Amino acid sequence: MTALELAAEVRSGQRRAVDVLEEYLTRIDTHEASIHAFNEVTTDLARQQAQAVDDDVQAGRDPGPLAGVPVAFKDNMCTRGIPTTCSSRILENWRPPYDATVVQKVRAAGAITIGKTNLDEFAMGSSTENSAFGPTRNPLDLSRVPGGSSGGSAAAVAAGFAALALGSDTGGSIRQPAAFCGLVGMKPTYGAVSRYGLVAFGSSLDQIGPFAANVADAAALYEVIGGHDPLDSTSIPDLAPTVLDSIDRGVEGLRIGIVRELSGGAGSVEGIRSDVVDRVQAAAVALEAAGATVEEVSVPSTTLGLSAYYLVAPAEASSNLSRYDGVRYGLRVDAATTGEMNAATRTEGFGTEVKRRIMLGTYALSAGYYDAFYGKSLKVRTLMLQEFAAVYQRFDLLLTPTAPTTAFPLGERTADPMTMYVNDVCTIPSNLIGHPAISVPFGVGHDGLPVGVQVLGPALSEALIFRAAATLEAAAEMDR
Amino acid sequence: MIGHEPSLPDDWELVVGLEVHVELATKTKLFCGCANQFSSEPNTNVCPTCLGLPGSLPVLNGQAVAFAMTLGRALGCEVRPSVMARKNYFYPDMAKDFQTTQYDQPTNVDGELRLADGSVVGIERAHIEEDAGKTSHVGGGGRIGDANYSLVDYNRAGVPLVEIVSRPEIRSVEQARAYVSELRNILLAIGVSDARMEEGSLRVDANVSVRPTGSQELRTRCEIKNINSIRSMGRAIEYEAKRHVDLYASGESPHQETRHWDEDGGRTTPGRSKEDAEDYRYFQEPDLVPLVPTAEEVAAIDEQLPMLPAQRRHRLTQLAPNSADAATIVVERGQDDLVVAAVAAGADAERLLTRVQNDLAVDDWTKVDAEGLAALIGMETAGELTATQTKQVLAELVNHGGDPRTIAEALGFEAMSDDALAGLVDGLIADHPDEWNRFVAGDEGERRKMQGFFTGQIMKATQGQADGRAVADLLNGRAG
Ligand SMILES: [Zn+2]
């Protein structure tokens, strides 16, 4: 049953939200220990909310489009009175005094807050192995990672612990775990969804987006969370996030480009596995069969994306994470002077990857290095924007793999950060230029694990990418 | 024009640039809705944003921007497109451990401040930034190194500031004082700040260096902080300049550093030196969008600018060219509109300015209106009232208002018309023939002595209300 069907049944009084919730809680009870999707299951709050939804239905009030649907939140979104840890020791037990805008919106839509999900510490990672509270496992194969950094959210939906989940995507952190767990995951246009209450990693890159088991559910959740928020200055004014009503219109007549540099063939970045390439080709065939024209297109600057990203994101992170100093909240490790207390707190509170990125970013912003590093990465972003703008003169959408491989085994890449970073090569361009992108499952690789294909579009083309995703989803089902 | 600087030998010249921080009198803080209020209970005007809580975001206060641009225009600055930037450094009262400020693209550049003495000091920039919280060190005499613990009040965190940076064009302590007081007058005139140095809403740092008189070089400067009054500023600059001259005289030179003014000790003490200066790793604030004022917005600000102190002084000196000092004082007291209206109502401008400067130095002069003042000055100019009488009538006007002629009559001054005085003089001459003969026939000394006698008698008879000069004229006229 889809989340939308579930909501329809709850709204019409066919099923009670409290009963739905207990089914989910039972599954969590049974399987969570082996998966570790959650940092916190908010059982009491969820039961209260479900009861309130049922009361609304009883009283003839409409609880909203997501009535009774259990939703999991990545644990970097602030939830009032509920620990929000970013899977970091430094924020262990920190309870925000306020809700993120998306949390409020999801609640207002009648959804049930079922828990806070595990992530790579401060969203820095691609496997959810960088969590201070232990890794999350892929529900499809417990020896493998769920991807990251929103691995807990992906695992929660894949394991049936939640019908929907929210993740945040700074360089692919929604789309790659969606691909690894066989889900739909979408990163909206920068500014389409409020970042208020999302604990910042790379402020100019971060966007919140939906995870769902199918395209329509993801579209429904996007509609709930999208739109202008006066509390986020980078939020787009007067945005109506309407995507569901056009989702079945297909791709007839659309011009779709396959990005050569991410195609695995000649002129492509290395490391994209052939079985993944095959699935992208199959997706292209499916789109053509549905009436689109598909041809290869070169976007050379995509090869610069990884280097630019690993300067911009750490630079912004180094500044965003300065506030964890032991003075006001979170961990404090006492020492003789304030400076020593700051250092001791941060030494103990942050994990290795976070420290690595803070140092990287601090260095990239330093006097004498700014122009060579941070300054240059800004130029790459400008160049990419120009190239993509030119490409979108000739194409409506672009098609790439979501990740170079399927879900890899736990521990395989933790020793060498570079092999981990390369994971993001296909997803990073959308973050650097602020464009929307979606990952849709499209069959399996030769290891039998799901492969995600990625549809990219220009700014505010959400309706179009959901249409293409729905087309691919239908084709994949036919294929099965 | 520029005051003599007594503490420096003639062959050394003072070079000072001032950095003035001004708290803007907005209702709310720069990036959140918290009250911008002095003297509330500690940590009561705070919210997630000004406490820098994880996930919080800034929203720029439009009122603060308008105030900053108004100040820029009042200082003759160019108002330009600008961006906010992050200045990264760790300090407990800096809630985010970075200050949101402006760096390479400030809102206001290239202005000037025209002082009362006619000199002009260039303004390099006037940029928008946020204030920090307030730290108090408890125990150990309140010094950071010896304190048992420290308390931070974040009520001030996020209060909007404009930092006005002068060019190093100030050449004397008097000019530095005049600069600050003129800046203060402008701030009060345009109503963007209460500019109270004792409450910290106007704070001055002085960059001090010296150079051989006549040279154009800029030598190593020291930045003097912790200046709490205009008087301290003068002492601090004087002390620091002398210190530099002494160093050069002994073959040494100062090194660039921040120094603190020690009010009790009457000296500056070393703070942070350039060598261990922090690298602030400035970069554009990704959570805010650029400020792009349109030509229309700037024109609207210009239109609404009130008359500024320099213009007000100019207006008075046009009317009374010989009363420049009085004009400065009268403008500072805000009495210039009254003066201009009284001149328009027929008062003699020079005499009026003298009267207002000397005899209207009271807090509440609202009962004095321009017509009454003009009538009073007219009576004085016509000789109907003596100086003393004029002052008495003016005092009555200040206290009770009313018509000066009626007041003069009520005080019995109207009897002192020319005819009445002439009658008194003639009567005296008749009563004292011997003295009169000595006045008419005596030598210079005898004549002066007898003039004193007659004037004294007249004064006794009129209880001091006669005009001494008119008496002398009458005596001389009668003597032929
Ligand atoms: Zn606040």
Chain A residue numbers with beta carbons less than 8 Å from the beta carbon of B43 are none
Catalytic residue selected from A88, A126, A149, A263 = A149
Q: Which of A87, A126, A127, A173 is catalytic?
A: A173
- In-domain check, residue B161: yes
Sequence-distant (6+) residues with CB within 8 A of B366 are: none
Report strand pairing: B108-114 vs B120-130: antiparallel
Chain A stretch 299-328, residues whose beta carbon is closer than 8 A to a beta carbon of chain B? 315-316, 318-319, 322-323, 325, 327-328
> Rounded mean pLDDT of chain A?
97
- If asked whether residues B375 and B449 sit together in one domain, one would say no
| pLDDT at position A223 over 70 | yes
Average of per-residue pLDDT across A425-435:
98
B332 and B433 housed in the same domain: no
Q: Which residues of chain B fall below pLDDT 70?
A: 1-7, 142-145, 272-277, 414-417, 463
User: Does A460 reside within a domain?
Assistant: no
B275, B304, B333 — which closes off a domain?
B304
Which residues constitute the domain of residue B326? 309-410
Closest residue of B to A200, CA-based? B55
Contact across the interface for A199 and B51, Cβ inside 8 Å: no
Q: How far is the CA of B51 from the centre of ligand 1 (A)?
A: 7
Q: What is the CATH number of the domain that holds A100?
A: 3.90.1300.10
Same domain, B440 and B361: no
User: Domain check: are B136 and B91 in the same one?
Assistant: yes
In the numeric block, which tokens belong to residue A398?
């672009």
A105 among known catalytic residues? no
Q: Is A74 a catalytic residue?
A: yes
Q: Is the ipTM of this structure higher than 0.85? A: yes
C-alpha neighbours within 13 Å on the C-beta side of residue A455: 32
What is the CA(A8)–ligand 1 centre distance, in A?
Answer: 41
Shared domain for B343 and B273, answered yes or no, is: no
Do B177 and B219 fall into the same domain? yes
Please check whether residue A415 lies inside any domain of the structure: no
Residue range A259-287: average pLDDT?
A: 95
Two tokens, residue A81: 């009175």
Give catalytic status of residue A268 as yes or no.
Answer: no
Give the chain B residue nearest A366 (alpha carbons): B281
Residue of A nearest to B87 (CA): A319
**Does A84 sit within 8 Å of B55, measured CB to CB?**
yes
First to last CA, chain A: 18
DSSP secondary structure letters along B129-192: EEPP-EEEEESGGG-TTT-SEEEEEGGGTT-EEEEEEE-S-B-SHHHHHHHHHHHHHHHHHHTS
Do the beta carbons of residue A329 and residue B53 sit within 8 Å?
yes
CB contact under 8 A, A365 and B283: yes
Of A198, A230, A234, the CB nearest to B55: A198
pLDDT higher than threshold 80 for residue A335: yes
Give B282-335 pLDDT, tens digit per residue: 999 999 999 999 999 999 999 999 999 999 999 999 999 999 999 999 998 999
Give B52's contacts in chain A (Cβ within 8 Å): 323, 328
Residue A210 within any structural domain of the chain: yes
Residue B424's pLDDT is: 84
- The count of structural domains within chain B is 3
Nearest to A367 among B95, B279, B287 (CB): B279
Chain B neighbors of A199, CB-CB under 8 A: 54-55
Q: Which of A197, A322, A338 sits opposite B92 (nearest CB)?
A: A338
Question: What pLDDT does B361 receive?
Answer: 87
- Of all residues in chain A, the one with the smallest CA distance to B154 is A328
Per the CB < 8 A criterion, the answer to whether A114 and A46 are in contact is: yes
Q: Cα of B129 to ligand 1 centre, how many Å?
A: 15
Take residue A283 and report the two structure tokens written for it. 């997706």
Residues of A within 8 A of B153 (CB-CB) are: none
* Tally of domains in chain A: 1
Q: How far is the CA of B35 from the centre of ligand 1 (A)?
A: 8
Note whether B53 contacts A97, CB cutoff 8 Å. yes
pLDDT higher than 50, residue A118: yes
pLDDT score at B4 = 42
| B4, part of any domain | no
Interface check for A367 against chain B (CB to CB < 8 A): the answer is yes
Residue in chain B lying closest to A201 (CA): B55
Q: Which residues of B touch A365 (CB under 8 A)?
A: 88, 281-283
Q: What is the mean pLDDT of chain B?
A: 91
**Alpha carbon separation from B186 to A191, A208, B71, B114, B305 (Å, rounded):** 40, 47, 8, 11, 11
Whether B230 and B336 share a structural domain: no
The pLDDT of A41-56, averaged and rounded, is: 98
> Which tokens is B271 given?
């703070």
Residues B119 and B88 in one domain: yes
CA distance A257 to chain B (A): 31
A97/B52 touch (CB, cutoff 8 Å), yes or no: no
Residue B200 shares a structural domain with residue B300 = yes
Residues in B whose CB is inside 8 Å of some CB of A read 48, 51-60, 86, 88, 90, 92, 95-98, 150, 152, 279, 281-283, 286-289
Assigned domain for A115 exists: yes
Say whether B95 and A199 touch across the interface (CB within 8 A).
no
Whether A420 is in a domain gets the answer no
Q: Which of B304, B323, B353 marks a domain boundary?
A: B304
In a domain, B79, yes or no: yes
pLDDT in tens, A295-319: 999 999 999 999 999 999 999 999 9
Supply the pLDDT for residue B2: 42
Which of B354, B376, B410 delimits the end of a domain? B410
CA distance B15 to B320: 34
> What dihedral angle (degrees, nearest 10) is formed by the CA atoms of B468, B472, B474, B478?
150
Ligand 1 centroid to Cα of residue B304, in Å, is: 30
Å between B155 CA and nearest CA of chain A: 14
Q: What chain B residue is nearest to A320 in terms of C-alpha separation? A: B96
- CB proximity list for A480: less than 8 A, separation 6 or greater: none
Beta-carbon separation of B52 and A232 below 8 A: no
**How close is the nearest chain B Cα to the Cα of A63, in Å?**
28
Domain membership of residue A196 (yes or no) is: yes
> Which strands form A450-456's sheet, in the order they lie side by side?
A38-41, A112-117, A70-74, A164-169, A207-212, A184-187, A437-444, A450-456, A397-401, A255-259, A293-297
C-alpha span between B210 and B216 (Å, rounded): 11
What is the per-residue pLDDT across B41-56, written as a single tens digit (0 to 9) for each?
999 999 999 999 999 9
> In the prediction, which pLDDT does B6 show?
54
pLDDT in tens, A373-412: 999 999 999 999 999 999 999 999 999 999 999 999 999 9
Chain B nearest CA to A335, separation (Å): 12
Q: Are residues B291 and B358 in the same domain?
A: no
Does residue B7 sit within a domain?
no
- Evaluate whether residue B433 is within a structural domain: yes
Residues B378 and B399 in one domain: yes
Q: Which of B54, B55, B279 sits opposite A366 (nearest CB)?
A: B279
If asked whether residues B335 and B292 sit together in one domain, one would say no
**Average pLDDT over every residue of A85-90:** 98
Domain holding A67, by residue range, is 3-245
